[in-house]
Structure 1
Amino acid sequence: MKNSSKIKYAGLTCVLVSFIGCKAPSITERNENKTVPEAFANISLDTVNSAKMQWRSYFKDQNLENLIDIALKNNQELNITLQEIEIAKSEVKARKGEYLPFVGFNAGAGFEKTGRYTSTGSGEATTEIMPGKETPDPLPNYVFGLSSTWEIDIWNKLHNAKKAALNRYLGSIEGKNFVVTNLIAEIANSYYELLALDNQLEIVKQNIDIQSNALKVVKIQKEAARVNELAVRRFEAQILDTQSLQFDIQQEIYETENKINFLLGRFPQKVIRNDIAFSTMIPSAVHAGVPSQLLENRPDIKKAEMDLIAAKLDVKSAKAKFYPSLGISAGIGYEAFNIKYLLTSPESLLYSLAGELTAPLINRNVIKAGYLTANAKQIQAVYNYERTVVNAYVEVANQLSKIENTAKSYDLKSKQVQALNESVQISNDLFGSARADYMEVLLTQKDALESKFELIETKKQQMNAFVNVYRALGGGWN
Structure 2
Amino acid sequence: MLSNVKYSCLALALLSLSYTACNIPEAVKKKENRSVPASYNHSQDTTNSAKLKWNEFFTDPYLDALIDTALHNNQELNIVLQEIAISRNEIRVRKGEYLPFVGFKGAAGVEKTARYTSRGAMEANTEIKPGKEMPDPLPDYLGGLYASWEVDVWRKLRNAKKSAVNRYLASIDGKNFVVTSLIAEVANSYYELLALDNELKIVQQNIEIQSNALEIVRLQKSAARVTELAVRKFEAEVLKTKSMEFDIRQQITETENRINFLLGRFPQPIPRNSDNFNELVPQTIYAGIPSQLLQNRPDIRRAEMELAAAKLDVKVAKAEFYPSVRITGSLGYQAFNPAYLLTSPESILYSIAGDLVAPLVNRNAIKANYSSANARQVQAIYNYERSILNAYVEVVNQLAMINNLGKSYDLKAGQVQALTQSISISNDLFKSARADYMEVLLTQRDALESRFELVETKKRQLNAMVNIYQALGGGWK
Q: Hey, what's the Cα distance between the residues in 2 that align with 1:253 and 1:107?
A: 70
Q: In the alignment, what sits opposite 2:397?
A: 398
Residue 284 of structure 1: CA displacement?
A: 1.6
- 1:90-135: per-residue Cα shift (whole Å, max 9, x none)? 1110000010011111100000011234332232235543321222
CA contact (8 A) 1:199 1:277 kept: no
Distance 2:14 2:74 in 1: 60
Which residue type is aligned with residue 35 of structure 1? S
Structure 2 counterpart of 1:392, which letter? Answer: A
Distance 1:339 1:389 in 2: 70
User: How far did 1:16 drift?
Assistant: 3.4
Bigger drift between 125-134 and 310-319 goes to: 125-134
1:34 aligns with 2:39: no
3-state SS of 1:39 partner: coil
Paired residue type of 1:453? F
Which stretches in structure 1 are left out of the alignment for 5+ residues? none
Aligned partners of 2:430 and 2:307: how far apart in 1? 72
In structure 2, distance between residues paired with 1:11 and 1:338: 40
Taking the aligned partners of 2:119 and 2:357, their CA distance within structure 1 comes to 35
Q: Aligned equivalents of 2:395 and 2:6: distance in 1?
A: 69
1:139 lines up with 2:138 in the alignment: yes
Amino acid at match of 1:19: L
Q: Secondary structure of the equivalent of 1:15? A: helix
Instruction: Return the TM-score normalized by structure 1.
Output: 0.97
The equivalent residue for 1:341 is 340
Shift of 1:13: 4.8
Q: Partners in 1 of 2:279 and 2:42 — Cα distance?
A: 26
SS in 2 for 1:215: helix
Deviation at 1:11, TM superposition (A): 5.1
* Inter-partner Cα distance in structure 2 for 1:12 and 1:176: 50
3-state SS in 1 of match to 2:131: coil
CA distance in 2, matches of 1:227, 1:11: 113
Question: SS where residue 356 of structure 2 aligns?
Answer: strand
Q: Which segment drifts farther, 274-283 or 393-402?
A: 274-283
* 2:197 matches 1:198: yes
- Residue 16 of structure 1 is matched in structure 2 by 14
Which deviates the most, 375-384 or 43-52? 43-52
SS at match of 2:191: helix
Are the equivalent residues in 1 in contact too, given 2:128–2:134 (CA < 8 A)? no
- Is 2:147 the counterpart of 1:148? yes
Matches within 5 A, 1:366-381: 366-381=365-380
Kindly indicate whether the alpha-carbon contact (under 8 Å) linking 2:80 and 2:175 is maintained by their aligned counterparts in 1.
yes
Structure 1 residues 36-59: Cα deviation after superposition (integer angstroms, max 9, x where no partner): 00101x352221100000000100
Distance 2:372 2:289 in 1: 37
Equivalence for 2:329: 330
Q: Distance in 2 between matches of 1:436 and 1:410?
A: 31
1:465 corresponds to: 464
User: In the aligned structure 2, how far is the partner of 1:320 from the partner of 1:469?
Assistant: 45
Find the aligned partners of 1:224 and 1:199 in 2 and give their Cα distance.
Answer: 38
Classify 1:329/1:9 alpha carbon distance in 2 versus 1 (closer, same or farther; 3 Å). Answer: closer
| CA offset digits 1:273-315 (Å, max 9, x no partner) | 1232211100121100110000000000000000000000000
Superposition RMSD in Å: 1.5
Question: What is the CA–CA distance in structure 2 between the aligned matches of 1:468 and 1:173, rounded to whole Å?
Answer: 22
Question: Per-residue displacement from partner, 1:159-208 (whole Å, max 9, x unpaired)?
Answer: 00000000000000000000000000000000000000000000000000
Secondary structure of residue in 2 paired with 1:21: helix
1:38·1:291 contact (CA, 8 Å) conserved in 2?
Answer: yes
* Counterparts of 2:9 and 2:44, CA distance in 1: 68
Rounded Cα–Cα distance in structure 1 between residues aligned with 2:172 and 2:136: 64
What amino acid is aligned across from residue 369 of structure 2 in structure 1?
A: G
Amino acid at match of 2:206: N
Q: CA deviation at 1:443?
A: 0.2
TM-score (structure 2 length as normaliser): 0.97
Partner SS state of residue 411, structure 1: helix
Q: Distance in 1 between matches of 2:286 and 2:422?
A: 40
Aligned-pair identity (%): 65
Q: Which range moves more in the overlay, 158-167 or 115-124? A: 115-124
Partner of 1:71: 70
Range that drifts further, 300-309 or 136-145: 136-145
1:102 maps to what in 2?
101
Whether contact under 8 Å (1:126, 1:133) holds in the other structure is no
> Paired residue for 1:25?
25
1:334-362 Cα shifts (integer Å, max 9, x gaps): 00000010011110000001111111111
Q: 1:126·1:132 contact (CA, 8 Å) conserved in 2?
A: no
Name structure 2 gaps, 5 residues minimum.
Answer: none
Number of equivalences:
475
**What's 2:277 paired with?**
278
SS in 2 for 1:174: helix
Give the 5 Å matches for 1:419-434. 419-434=418-433
Partner of 1:333, secondary structure, is: strand
Distance verdict in 2 for CA 1:373–1:419, change over 3 Å? same
Other structure's SS at 2:128 match:
coil
- Secondary structure of the corresponding residue to residue 330 of structure 1: strand
Q: Which residue of 2 aligns with 1:125?
A: 124
Query: Counterparts of 2:329 and 2:277 in 1: how far apart (Å)?
Result: 76
**SS where residue 129 of structure 1 aligns?**
strand
Superposed counterparts of 1:427-446, under 5 Å: 427-446=426-445
- Separation of aligned partners in 1, 2:9 and 2:159: 31
Aligned residue identity for 1:155:
W
Task: State the distance in 1 between where 2:59 and 2:236 align.
Answer: 43
